[in-house]
Structure 1
Amino acid sequence: MEQREEVDKRTHNSKIPGLFLALLLALIAIGLAHTALLSDLGVSPLTIGILLGIGTVNSIGRKFEPVIDKGVNIAKSTLLKLGVILFGLHFTYAEVLTLGWRGLAIDILVIISVLMLSLFVGRYILKLDYTTSLLIGAGSAICGAAAILATAPVVKAKSESVVIAVATVVIFGTISMFLYPAIWPYLNISAADFGVYTGSTIHEVAQVVAVGTAIGPESAQSAVLEKMLRVILLAPFLLILALCQSTLKKKQDNQSTPRFSLRHMPWFALCFLIVIGVNSMASIPAALITVLMSLDTMLLTMAMVALGLKTHVSVVTQAGYKPMLLGFVLFLLLVVGGGILNCWLLG
């Protein structure tokens, strides 16, 4: 009996079962994402991964959670941050600078306006909690699920809030993939300018690529570059958010002179910028870049699987319609407000 209890204790303290399950489901998600149907729709492995995680944990029941819990926690924290760092390999500063000040101004204004509207509507009109409102705003404003995953550790978000936020950007980002090619013929702008509009307002990188490619090569190039610039702005956003969180906490603790210390800095955001810098200045072999990008996809997909494995359907359904309504409001701002902003600055 004592031996069995000792084995059970070691099993519950082991990281291997949870990491192995996250890896297995991530491999399945990546495989499914490469199928013809899902690839054409621009469905990323991250989206599939979180769905597989939710489906698994709600199928096998809670009795297995203590066995996988430790490894799952590592996947949704440490592996997530490593994935965000490697995400910087997708970009170089030289490529982004080709967009000029207008491309930068559009992205900054989009991010600020979406975040402000999300916090205002979410907190004061829909009465959602601060974390959920911020995560939905970050996902809509910057780069979908990747931005939500990167923001979550800074605000110490619960898995349920992350899943709800991801659901909103997946739904409205998918709608964008069908809406933008449909409205393109009715807009009196060049393919390149339409690409900038696409890159500055659609949620996910994969969705931007799908829409840009559907319009043409010129549109695809400007769309991807504009989206790259928007993603790079994730790092300063995280640094500013960490500073605000630290200042707010100090004020709540009644400290008269709130200060920001290095321990509050999201180190993975700094490393993200460093990786972009290295990729900009150093000549990294193409084969190595391919391997590291594949590893990055695996790490981020494992993190999404882990978030799914920490989420129970009952908790998500209790959130009701309000998160989706907030996502819809932000979607309208991106499509309409983003269109007006692009016409103003590019026209």
Structure 2
Amino acid sequence: MIDLRGRMPGLLVAATAAAVAWLVHLAVPALPLLTVAVALGIVVGQVPAVQRRLDGALAPGLKTASKSLLRVGIVLLGLKLSLFDIAHLGWVTIATTVAVVLLTFVGTIGLGRALGLPGHQPLLVASGFAICGASAIGAMGSTVRARDEDQAVPVALVTLCGTLAIAVLPALWHPLGLSAVQFGHWVGAGVHDVGQVVATAQLAGPAALAVAVVVKLTRVLMLAPMVAITAAVERRRHVETTGSRPPVVPLFIAGFVAAVLVATFVPLPEAVLSAADAVQTAVLAMALFALGASIRFADLAATGWRALVVGLTSWVLVATLAYGAVLLG
């Protein structure tokens, strides 16, 4: 039986943090809500007096938020994806976007392993930078059963670099000679979180924002096959070591794919889509606050510089590849 009473304090704290993040976003629209939620969790997690509660009475609820609510949010994220919208990008844009994801993913894993990042950190950093930020880190971490410590560094890095992108990419827009639509394409292909993409691309106008969101959601769609392939590899390893057989595809990824198909082929009322979007934002904000709250800078000092090198290099790699994709498009 689920211990709701034991989990309620942590869930209430996560919900309160999500509400605070929403208020900050309303006050400063340039700050994406989910980025604020992660940052708030990171800040709270560094306060010694609060850490004892985070690791004690609040831990069961925060774990539920970072695991179960994250999965719900990812499933609902699928309702934002229409395969028809993605098809309208054209095969060149789709192909180059997929190539950017794959090259960034493989390159980041290789660099992370070369620098000796521990555990699943190379995989998780690669997922965050190549696909869709902290949401992808949580999804991949859930699939490979990564420890919270392994997820903490990638979440911090992708939050840092995604926030930097909001300032850096617009400063490079005109020097690189990009049109507004090309800038939107670059942002969609090179910035990590959906909220960060919106915050960055909207500076160039509605046309740039529309292209950026569709290109970004094309990257998000890559979450399903990337997680499925990783799950298959992990399943084979698990069978070899324990003899048991985990699911071939995690249930929440199957739900994500089903939501994409519904969004593509079923004309849902606008009220339903708006409600689903509100719920998705709320549960992801709670989940990402919980992930951020698990970060302890003092515990990360040993591998921090290596992780920082991998994160910054991956950020430059995805931005460079995305720029090349814009020129090819």
With normalisation by structure 1, the TM-score equals: 0.86
Tell me the residue number matched to 1:207. Answer: 196
Percent of aligned positions that are identical: 27
> Are residues 278 and 74 of structure 1, via their aligned partners in 2, closer, same or farther at CA, if it must alter by over 3 Å?
same
Aligned to 1:85, which of 60, 75, 86?
75
Distance in 1, matches of 2:165 and 2:301, equals 24
Query: Any conservation in 2 of the 1:138–1:148 contact (CA below 8 Å)?
Result: yes
Aligned to 1:32, which of 24, 27, 30?
24
Tell me the residue number matched to 1:99. Answer: 89
Give the secondary-structure state (helix, strand or coil) at the position aligned to 1:228: helix
Query: Any conservation in 1 of the 2:25–2:31 contact (CA below 8 Å)?
Result: no
Kindly indicate whether residue 274 of structure 2 is the aligned counterpart of residue 274 of structure 1: no
Tell me the residue number matched to 1:121. Answer: 111
2:272 aligned partner, one-letter code: L
Distance in 2, matches of 1:176 and 1:305, equals 21
> Are residues 249 and 290 of structure 1, via their aligned partners in 2, closer, same or farther at CA, if it must alter by over 3 Å?
same
> Are residues 28 and 100 of structure 1, via their aligned partners in 2, closer, same or farther at CA, if it must alter by over 3 Å?
same
Tell me the residue number matched to 1:193. Answer: 182
2:95 aligned partner, one-letter code: A
Tell me the residue number matched to 2:268. Answer: 284
1:239 aligned partner, one-letter code: A
After superposition, where does 1:122-271 map in structure 2 within 5 Å? 122-124=112-114, 126-252=115-241, 263-271=247-255
Output one character per residue of 1:156-201: Cα deviation in whole Å (capped at 9) or x when no partner.
1121222211111122122222222222213344432332222111
1:293 aligned partner, one-letter code: D
- Equivalent pairs counted in the alignment come to 326
Tell me the residue number matched to 1:62. Answer: 52
2:298 aligned partner, one-letter code: S
Query: Any conservation in 1 of the 2:21–2:33 contact (CA below 8 Å)?
Result: no
Distance in 2, matches of 1:248 and 1:239, equals 14
Cα offset, 1:251, TM superposition: 4.4
Cα offset, 1:245, TM superposition: 1.3
Give the secondary-structure state (helix, strand or coil) at the position aligned to 1:144: helix
Query: Any conservation in 2 of the 1:73–1:306 contact (CA below 8 Å)?
Result: yes
Answer with 1 or 2: which has the greater Rg: 1
2:283 aligned partner, one-letter code: L
Query: Any conservation in 2 of the 1:168–1:327 contact (CA below 8 Å)?
Result: yes
1:127 aligned partner, one-letter code: G
Distance in 2, matches of 1:25 and 1:225, equals 29
Cα offset, 1:66, TM superposition: 3.2
> Are residues 30 and 48 of structure 1, via their aligned partners in 2, closer, same or farther at CA, if it must alter by over 3 Å?
farther
> Are residues 335 and 73 of structure 1, via their aligned partners in 2, closer, same or farther at CA, if it must alter by over 3 Å?
closer
Query: Any conservation in 1 of the 2:70–2:135 contact (CA below 8 Å)?
Result: no
Query: Any conservation in 2 of the 1:85–1:275 contact (CA below 8 Å)?
Result: yes
Tell me the residue number matched to 2:300. Answer: 316
Distance in 2, matches of 1:306 and 1:271, equals 22
1:234 aligned partner, one-letter code: L
Distance in 2, matches of 1:285 and 1:20, equals 31
Output one character per residue of 1:230-272: Cα deviation in whole Å (capped at 9) or x when no partner.
111111111111011112333456x8xxx9x672421101101
Aligned to 2:38, which of 35, 47, 50?
47
What 5-or-longer segments of structure 2 have no aligned partner? none
Distance in 2, matches of 1:33 and 1:280, equals 30
Cα offset, 1:136, TM superposition: 0.9
Query: Any conservation in 2 of the 1:29–1:52 contact (CA below 8 Å)?
Result: no
Tell me the residue number matched to 2:15. Answer: 23
Query: Any conservation in 1 of the 2:166–2:199 contact (CA below 8 Å)?
Result: yes
Output one character per residue of 1:111-152: Cα deviation in whole Å (capped at 9) or x when no partner.
11111111111112x111241111111111011111111111
Query: Any conservation in 1 of the 2:17–2:289 contact (CA below 8 Å)?
Result: yes
RMSD (Å) for aligned C-alpha atoms: 2.4
Distance in 2, matches of 1:117 and 1:342, equals 20
Kindly indicate whether residue 294 of structure 2 is the aligned counterpart of residue 305 of structure 1: no
> Are residues 152 and 53 of structure 1, via their aligned partners in 2, closer, same or farther at CA, if it must alter by over 3 Å?
farther
Deviates more, 1:314-323 or 1:168-177: 314-323
